[in-house]
Each structure stands twice: as structure tokens, then as C-alpha cells.
Structure 1
């Protein structure tokens, strides 16, 4: 299938510490009219420096990169170039990273493995000042903001809101698969959150975490 033509003359920078991903993205873009990869960066500091040096219009930004994270690079770039379009393309689909990217100023958030047409549409969207999110992320954002109540941030403030939510489900005796289904997360993401919860609360079991939750009033 031939990729659709993009808006004319969009200057791009690809920031990702995985060379194979950059090469694959460049190959896709090379057959798309109007898109030009001007520079590549393998860490956040390079992304910051090269985006300014080459005056690009769109940065395709990974989140986890060495030296400077993609989120921090996004914040700094937009402080210097407010009109720059940042499209985050990441393997992480959890709320914390999605909301952090939005707060940093990213206009779009897609998952690695997205269809070529979706990636090209995302590039065009952010170049034109629009927002575009992966369908699964857009659904979760809608569900999140439609929830009638949220756990007060004063309860266990060392935890993120998502971690407090998962802890409340743990305290109700729910299993990881059930929590994943209820919150529309992968089981791996739930496990990662639980590991973080245990570390922050300095507990080693679900029973201890449950006790901490009850003491905090969750």
C-alpha cells in the first residue's frame, strides 16, 4: 500500500535511542512526499540541540532516552520554540507517561507498532497544530476524565494518582489480571505500578500494602 502524501515540506527530527527504529521510520518517510528528515538524535540532549540548530518543524520524540529524557527535552524545546510540533512515539501506554507528555506540551502520542498511515497522519496533525492520540490512548483519556471521583492526592502523596488507584484495588483483594481489565491496562503495566508502589511505601507484600492503604484511609 502506498503511504498517503503528507503536507508539503515538513522538516523532521527523529529522536530515539534505538537505531533500528530510526532507520525504519526514515525508510517510511523517504517514500512520502513533502516529509524531510533533517536530523536524528539518540538522546534528549541531542534532540534539543539539533532541533534548534536545524530549525525543524516536527520532532518525533521517544520518552526514555539517555542523558536527557524525551519529556524533559520536550519541555525545554517548547520553552525555546513554542510553535514546534512534538509527536511522542513510545512503547509506554500508561497514564503517567501519557499525561506527563501532555503536560510537557506534546501535541500527539502514538505507540510504537502503530500503522504507517497512523504515524504519517500524526506527523501531519502536529505540524498543523492539531492533536492526535492513538485510539487506545484516546479512549482511556476519555474514560479517565469521565470518572466521577478521584482519590484525594493528600492520601499517600508519594504515590501517583494511578498508583493510589491500583493500591485501592489491591486493598480490595483484586488480582493483577482483574485490575488490568478494570483499568484497561496491560498486566505488565499493572505489575510495574505495583513494584513502584511497594518501593515507595517500603513494603514487600500485598498484605503490607493493604495495611498501609487502610491506615491512610483509602
Structure 2
């Protein structure tokens, strides 16, 4: 089986190709008439630049619109699965997928927000033990995306979790909520928690509240 060319081999080839292209362009340029050179400099190049900028300005909003449409379709699909699913474990996975697809915003999920909050809060309280720390952490961080301030006391309590990952996610959730009532507790975590990630997440949460 032939080996794939490695990146270290491709870069010199591209560099040589670029040098050759420059030489060819200069060779052609020198053989153009003065009138052709003036036309290229005065008209062709500006028109090409304007065309490229116009294309880029059109491409960006079109791409953003396309991305929103794809995200909306995926949200609709995940919501349908969430409503049909009966397994709590699979429903929780769908909650994570919904909020991640929605870029951690509540827009478009208002109708199911109470159900999402109940499932996340229940998971955060019942997924006990070191082996389930990642589930607790994800529940805490995603709970903050629901913009429901009634979750603040639970997230503040989670700042005392035995696992640093969970505490960091709780700080992230409080930052997403911009829960100013948790400011003092976050300051304490930022200054005294032994884990660097927890301290960083607490600082980021406090910065969100100031923005």
C-alpha cells in the first residue's frame, strides 16, 4: 500500500510551486505591453479585489443562515427524540445534545425548559459517587444554560462537591446564569480552591457578571 505524503513533505513542494508561479507571473508580466500593464493595474486588479470582497460579504451571511437552518433542523430532531424517549439515561444524553446543538442558549427550547431543568437538577443531586463525577459536572454546566435563576442555590451547593471537575462545572453554570447572588461564593472559590481549573472557572464566572 502506498504511503500518504506527510505534512513535512507537502510544505516544501507547495513552497517550490509558489516560487515557480511567481517566476511565471513575472515572466508574463514583462512581456505584456505598457497598455496591458496599465489596464491590469488600473482596472483589472481593483475590479478583482472588489469582486472578491463582494463575494466574501455575501458568503458570510449565507453561511451563517445555512448554519442556523441546520442547527434548527437538528434541534427539531432532538426534541422529537426527547419527547419519545422513556429511558432517563437516554433522555439526559438528549438534553446534553440539545443544549450543545443550541450553543448553550435557551432560544427555541422554552417549551421544554422545565423538563430539562428537572432532569438536570435531579441528575446533579442523585448521580453520587466518584465514578459519576462527569455526569454531575455536565449536569451543572448545562443547568446554567437554561437561564433559570431558581437553579442558583443548587449550583452554589455544588461548589462544595468533592470532585474538582464538578466544582469547576458549577462555577461555569453560575457564570452562564450571571448569578450575582453567588458572587461572594465564587470569589471564595477563586481565591481558596486548591484546583487551578476551579479557580479559573470561578474567575471567568465573575468576569461574566461584570460584562
TM-score by length of 1: 0.28
Could you say which structure has the larger radius of gyration?
2
Q: Which has the higher strand share?
A: 1
* Structure of greater relative contact order (alpha carbons < 8 Å, 6+ residues apart): 1
Q: Which has the higher helix share?
A: 2
TM-score by length of 2: 0.28
